[in-house]
Amino acid sequence: MTTRPRAMYSSTRRQGKLNDWEIYLRLLGYVVPYWYLFALSLLGYLVYSLGNVLLADTMQFLLDALNDTSDVANGIVSGVAYRLFYSPDMGRLEFARVAVPLAIVLLTLTRALGFFVGTYFMNHVARHLVHELRCELFDKMLVAPSAYYDAHSQGVLISKITFNVEQVTGAATKALKILVRESLTVVALFSYMLYLNWRLCLVFVAVAPLIALVVRVVGRHFRRYSRRIQASMGDVTQVSNETIGAYREVRIFGGQSQQRERFRHASDYNRVQSLKLAFADAVSTPVLQTLLALALAALVWFALSPDILAGFSAGSLVAFLIAAGQLGKPMRQLSGIQSVLQRGLAAAEDIFAQLDLEDEIDTGTHSASRVNGHIAIADLSFSYPGTDRVALRNLSLDIPAGSTLALVGRSGSGKSTLVQLIARFYRPDSGQILLDGVPIDDYRLANLRSHIALVSQEVTLFNDTVYNNIAYGALADVPRERIDEVARLACADVFIARLPNGIDTVLGDDGGGLSGGERQRVAIARAILKGAPVLILDEATSALDNESENYIQQALDNIMRQRTTIVIAHRLSTVEKADCIAVMDAGTIVAIGTHDELLQRGGIYAQLYHREFSD
């Protein structure tokens, strides 16, 4: 892959405009289709939490049986056991000896089942959520306008799909599970404590606002650091990507220390922000634990006061204290997942911001099964988004159907820009382009592009066989002979025959192993195969030697005869025969005519021509 123009602005640092509730609701929207799995999971966790409470309650059963008091049947477990199974000829201790172990085993098994159901189905839901988010983000890249690619570096985009989605995964699987399970446990334990003695529970009500405050403050910090970590991961990926892609340049130009510096910088920023996050994380848990322990201490003090003790059996008191003690673990877990949760929310925020970006505009409704290929360009002006330099200025041009137009001009004069506008990769600021008399904006985007075959300046090949690279996309099911034929027309047959598996050789990453000229020939074969009425060749033969270029030129001449062709050529010798040559300079057409006319007229064309031939 070639590097694209660097970002005009780094939108990874721009924060999404969604507020927290919108993020939660939107995430919840992904869960809705799987509500029954979600409900099943909730049920499982509910069983798990109740199991926890009832196990605490069983201690009351045990203790009050040991003391042989009449309070023994007052608990939940003991109450049920006595009502259903107790017969008066049994001793209380004898009964408890069988009933308590049995209750422990049954409750533990039920709790285990609840845990399994809760965990497994919550994962089910979470994995769906992540999968859908990832696919939506990927699909977005398929419809994003070109400006999106201009504004983001490749590394940053890749890191959005890999790192950011992974952050949501963490939040959705681990954090969501803990959030649901432990919240239910807290609620269940607390309800049980209220049921045993509501006045004692007031101690917890007193510390609750403090706990909420800590959670809130820490959460806000987590989010801030998470955003920075995300952005820095984008930079880390970008620098790695660049260094891998340009490893030759890096070495030849001695850029190692520069690349190392940039990478160190990005990675170090990541380290510092992660450390800040870890600091907040490490502080928050002990603080919360201390708050809880203080509450627990106060609780014991109050619980052992004579008037409270009077209303309690020893068993109930112990059950109450056990339940209170058990609150510690879920509270700790809940505070522990804050960092994961906030990372996930920060990532979701960024993903949603991406998803909310506008697609390539596709509001046209016109469809033609085949066009003649008459292109009329009227008063076209264009600047690349985010720049104020004019790339095309009041450009008008008429290309009759079936004719060949050559665009020539110095590099940077706007030739590639013009053909990109014809394929609607960008929209003009003013003026319009007509294809067969219909503004190209009125075509459905896919239909418009089906009429155009483009070989661009930078050939991109896919990590697949030569065969599949030629028969790429909508062309996938053409007969094999046709592929061989177009390979021959593009003069690619000779080098293909030399590949280890011929046309079925898998090309590496971006056509690795092929020379520039060979890659261009594969791209030309692809374009010939498409057989579209409009053929655009943007310096498509620039990497070929003179001989191959002449040879391809003959093949192309045949193909060009039946279609509208726009050729951008760096060698003027290849455009002499064009029906019409347009000379571009500074974004507009400065001269137009045949080769001979232009040569006679002097000007840029004559200059370029003579320079080429004096070399």
Ligand X SMILES: Nc1ncnc2c1ncn2[C@@H]1O[C@H](COP(=O)(O)OP(=O)(O)O)[C@@H](O)[C@H]1O
Q: Which residues bind ligand X (CB under 6 A)?
A: 5, 150, 384, 387, 391, 409, 411-417
Between 55 and 582, name the residue whose CB sits nearer to ligand X: 582
CB of 435 to Mg ion, least distance (A): 21
- Taking only Cα atoms into account, the Rg of the chain, rounded to an integer number of angstroms, comes to 36
Instruction: Judge contact between 430 and 378, C-beta under 8 A.
Output: no
Q: Pick one of ligand X, Mg ion, none as the site partner of residue 320 (Cβ within 5 to 8 A by kind).
A: none
Region binding Mg ion by CB under 5 A among candidate stretches 30-38, 231-239, 414-422, 474-482: 414-422
Q: Pick one of Mg ion, ligand X, none as the site partner of residue 19 (Cβ within 5 to 8 A by kind).
A: none
Among candidate residues 614, 556, 609, the one with its CA nearest the CA of residue 583: 609
CB of 568 to ligand X, least distance (A): 7
Residues 6+ apart with CB under 8 A from 318: 59, 60, 63
SS3 386: coil
Q: Tell the residue number behind the tokens 């209303």, with chain if given.
A: 311
Between 386 and 513, name the residue whose CB sits nearer to ligand X: 386
Among candidate residues 157, 87, 169, the one with its CA nearest the CA of residue 122: 169
CB of 281 to Mg ion, least distance (A): 51
CB of 174 to Mg ion, least distance (A): 49
Residue 41 near Mg ion by CB under 5 A = no
Neighbours of 312 (CB within 10 A): 18
Residue 164 near Mg ion by CB under 5 A = no
CB of 415 to Mg ion, least distance (A): 5
Instruction: Judge contact between 72 and 82, C-beta under 8 A.
Output: yes
Instruction: Judge contact between 227 and 16, C-beta under 8 A.
Output: no
In the β-sheet with 404-409, what is the strand arrangement from edge to edge?
452-455, 534-538, 564-568, 404-409, 580-585, 588-593
Between 416 and 574, name the residue whose CB sits nearer to ligand X: 416
Distance CA 438, CA 430 (A): 16
Between 155 and 336, name the residue whose CB sits nearer to ligand X: 155
Burial of residue 233 (number of CB atoms within 10 Å: 0-12, 13-18, 19+) = buried
Between 221 and 415, name the residue whose CB sits nearer to ligand X: 415
Q: Pick one of ligand X, Mg ion, none as the site partner of residue 238 (Cβ within 5 to 8 A by kind).
A: none
Residue 585 forms beta bridges with which residues? 588
Q: Pick one of Mg ion, ligand X, none as the site partner of residue 237 (Cβ within 5 to 8 A by kind).
A: none
Instruction: Judge contact between 538 and 518, C-beta under 8 A.
Output: no
CB of 582 to ligand X, least distance (A): 12
Angle between helix 338-355 and helix 92-143 axes, rounded to 10 deg: 30
Q: Torsions phi, psi of 9, nearest 5?
A: -145, 155
Between 168 and 399, name the residue whose CB sits nearer to ligand X: 399
Its sign, for the CA torsion 332, 334, 338, 343, is positive
CB of 423 to Mg ion, least distance (A): 14
Between 7 and 37, name the residue whose CB sits nearer to ligand X: 7
CB of 6 to ligand X, least distance (A): 10
CB of 352 to Mg ion, least distance (A): 36
Between 181 and 415, name the residue whose CB sits nearer to ligand X: 415
Residue 541 near Mg ion by CB under 5 A = no
Q: How many residues bind Mg ion (CB under 5 A)?
A: 1
CB of 25 to Mg ion, least distance (A): 46
Angle between helix 198-245 and helix 256-303 axes, rounded to 10 deg: 170
Between 51 and 145, name the residue whose CB sits nearer to ligand X: 145
Residue 420 near Mg ion by CB under 5 A = no
Q: Pick one of ligand X, Mg ion, none as the site partner of residue 520 (Cβ within 5 to 8 A by kind).
A: none
Between 18 and 377, name the residue whose CB sits nearer to ligand X: 377
Q: Tell the residue number behind the tokens 């104020």, with chain if given.
A: 388
Neighbours of 430 (CB within 10 A): 11
Q: Pick one of ligand X, Mg ion, none as the site partner of residue 373 (Cβ within 5 to 8 A by kind).
A: none
- Identified binder of Mg ion from the candidate list 164, 416, 456, 469, rule CB under 5 A: 416
Q: Pick one of ligand X, Mg ion, none as the site partner of residue 387 (Cβ within 5 to 8 A by kind).
A: ligand X
CB of 587 to Mg ion, least distance (A): 13
Region binding Mg ion by CB under 5 A among candidate stretches 140-148, 412-420, 480-488, 596-604: 412-420
Q: Tell the residue number behind the tokens 């004579």, with chain if given.
A: 306
Region binding Mg ion by CB under 5 A among candidate stretches 172-180, 382-390, 415-423, 462-470: 415-423
Between 387 and 463, name the residue whose CB sits nearer to ligand X: 387
Among candidate residues 441, 467, 473, 429, the one with its CA nearest the CA of residue 454: 473
DSSP letters of 412-470? TSSHHHHHHHHTTSS--SEEEEEETTEEGGGB-HHHHHHTEEEE-SS----SSBHHHHH
CB of 584 to ligand X, least distance (A): 7
Burial profile 94-113: b = 16 or more Cβ within 10 angstroms, e = fewer: ebbeebbeebbeebeeebee
Between 556 and 568, name the residue whose CB sits nearer to ligand X: 568
CB of 452 to ligand X, least distance (A): 17
Between 159 and 456, name the residue whose CB sits nearer to ligand X: 456
Region binding Mg ion by CB under 5 A among candidate stretches 23-31, 48-56, 161-169, 408-416: 408-416
CA 158, chain centre distance (Å) = 7
Residue 335 near Mg ion by CB under 5 A = no
Residues 6+ apart with CB under 8 A from 559: 489, 528, 535, 565
Neighbours of 391 (CB within 10 A): 22
Q: Pick one of ligand X, Mg ion, none as the site partner of residue 114 (Cβ within 5 to 8 A by kind).
A: none
**Contact positions toward Mg ion, by CB under 5 A?**
416
